[in-house]
Amino acid sequence: MADATVAGSSSSQSQPKVQIVGELPPAPTMSSKDRPVNGNDTDSDDDRTHAGADEDEDPQTEDEAGPSSAVDEPEPANNGITRGIVQYGSVRVDNSASNGQITEAPAEEIPDDAELLQHYPDTEQILDLGHLRLTTTKRLGLARFAPSLKRLCLRQNLLTKIRSDIGQLTELEDLDLYDNSIEKITHLDSLTQLESLDLSFNNIHHISNVSHLGACKTIYFVQNKISRVRADDLQGPIAGALESLELGGNRLRSIENIGHLTNLTQLWLGKNKITTLSGMESLTNLRVLSIQSNRITKLEGLETLVNLEELYISHNGLTKLEGLEHNTKLTTLDVGANMIEKVENVGHLSRLEEFWANDNRIADLNELDKELGPNRMPALETVYLEGNPAQKKEGPAYRRKVKLLLPQLKQIDATFIRG
């Protein structure tokens, strides 16, 4: 690096001495749309290896992220000479000498990625590298942990790809890449021991290169840009292993190509654009179905899901409680924020512990005990009915009336009942 100078007095006697202290830390990566095509990307070797993979682009390209609200704050005024060591980019100036003389600061390297894991033994089983603004894993030296590493957390960094060094960690059981800028799934070919994979909050358009993960029980794709599950996406060894699939916050318009995942016990599909409850008939082991914030207008298609214990279907367009005749193992039913006018057709759900029907159009509470009373639902502890016309109609007597009709309750809305 060329010699650095600091503007000041023309006298060489009064000029402060400076110490060059290594390279600047890596700058944050730009978004893909702003990144130059011929930029100096040190990960280009991985791009060549996987060129042409997953070329089918998503037809939906709208950007759901809102505008930035960041505001530049003015720097505080500098009154007088700053004491202590001042850093000017990669240049350090020491103004701390009490006699007014400028002294040279001791040489000190700014830590970089290569030093992050320097003191970890090769036998380390868990590495947590979250919140470090990493733009690449290339300089971390991950390969030396390959024989022992079980869990790798890289959440909330600035990674744009999964590099081949991660692919060498063949003993990994848990890989957490939550909240990065990854666009494609690559280099997982050898991670056959992986049990949990979290790719939530990235820029993934398609589920690819995971079908070989025969030990993977849980996979998260929350808040990506997936518009559909393609026919081959979840075929292969992963089909018999998956127990929990999270696809919330994407662009799905239907439930398709998951019917073969017969070992699924949890399916999370909230905040999509799904219009009907179909395509799940063979998922008879399903215990949790979460499908809030979609576009479903009729409660149907759940007849074969006889082991369902929790159903979350709030914030849709339901107008009637129905279609739950065979779901007698339900312990939690959430139909809040729909357009339901009456509590009906649930009296047979004798195991129900929580019933959420807030923010609907229920106008009358008088026959509430016929569906939810202690003779019908002895295990019922929590009921949410606030935000309905009935609450406004009853006024201050609302809570007392619910308590009298349902004496087995321990909680009404968000308030516990005092003994």
Per-residue tokens: 157: 């960094």
Domain spans, the chain = 316-418
Q: What is the mean pLDDT of residues 258-264?
A: 97
pLDDT band at residue 11, thresholds of 50, 70 and 90?
A: very low
| CB-based contacts of 63, cutoff 8 Å, min separation 6 | none
Model confidence over 37-78: pLDDT tens digits?
444 444 555 555 454 545 555 444 444 433 333 334 444 444
Flag whether pLDDT at 35 surpasses 80: no
Per-residue tokens: 388: 């309905």
For residue 322, CA distances in Å to 79, 313, 316, 367 come to 72, 13, 14, 17
Model confidence over 95-146: pLDDT tens digits?
444 454 544 545 444 457 888 999 999 999 999 999 999 999 999 999 999 9
pLDDT of 46: 56
Flag whether pLDDT at 34 surpasses 60: no
pLDDT of 364: 95
pLDDT of 20: 40
| CB-based contacts of 94, cutoff 8 Å, min separation 6 | 16, 17, 19, 84, 85, 86, 102, 103, 104, 105
Model confidence over 321-373: pLDDT tens digits?
999 999 999 999 999 999 999 999 999 999 999 999 999 999 999 999 999 99
Nearest to 249, CA basis, from 303, 203, 306: 203
Higher pLDDT, 77 or 244: 244
Model confidence over 395-406: pLDDT tens digits?
999 999 999 999
Q: What is the mean pLDDT of residues 15-44?
A: 45
Q: What predicted TM-score, i.e. pTM, was given to this entire model?
A: 0.76
Model confidence over 328-341: pLDDT tens digits?
999 999 999 999 99
For residue 409, CA distances in Å to 323, 346, 405, 413, 414 come to 25, 17, 10, 11, 12
For the chain, how big is the Rg over CA atoms in Å?
29
Per the prediction, the chain carries an average pLDDT of: 83
State what percent of residues in the chain have pLDDT above 70.
Answer: 73
325 secondary structure, DSSP code:
T
- The CATH code of the domain at 316-418 is 3.80.10.10
Higher pLDDT, 34 or 204: 204
Query: What value, to the nearest 5°, has the Cα angle with vertex 307 and ends 273 and 319?
Result: 40
